[in-house]
Amino acid sequence: MTTPRGFRDRADDSLFTLIGEIPELIRNLVIAEVNAGKAWVARTAKDAGVGAGWLAAALFFLFWTIPALLAFVIIGLSSWWPAWLASLVVVVALLLLVAVFALLGVMRFKRIGKTQNPVQSIAQDVKEVRDEF
């Protein structure tokens, strides 16, 4: 008899049949753990890459903030309010962009530590098997 998911009911199987299926079950568990490890590495690498991209964007805008800040100082010293105010607005807008991109990058890097490591899952499986015996 099979269940909707394709698993069969093993209640009527003999002890020797169940023991004979242990190598296949262990093989399936190892394959599943390796696949989970591959998926975890792929997710972690993707999050690290996206986080690095956001930080690179923040550094790009920070790089262009420096000339704007210099223009702000030059214009502020050479004339009074209108040019100075315009330079100040540009500097503040660029610094806000830097802050937003840096926060996005840091948040993405923090996501890396929150995902469960496959090694922890394997250790948990080994612990459960030891507790059974």
Which mean pLDDT values do the consecutive 10-residue runs of the chain (133 residues) have?
A: 62 81 88 90 90 93 84 68 71 87 90 73 79 75
- Asked if residue 8 belongs to a domain, the reply is no
As given in the structure block, the two tokens for residue 8 are 């069969």
- Asked if residue 104 belongs to a domain, the reply is yes
pLDDT for 1 equals: 46
Structural domain of 44: 16-114
- Asked if residue 105 belongs to a domain, the reply is yes
pLDDT for 80 equals: 65
- Asked if residue 119 belongs to a domain, the reply is no
- Asked if residue 27 belongs to a domain, the reply is yes
- Number of H helices and E strands in the chain, helices first, is 4, 0
Number of domains in the chain: 1
pTM: 0.46
pLDDT for 78 equals: 66
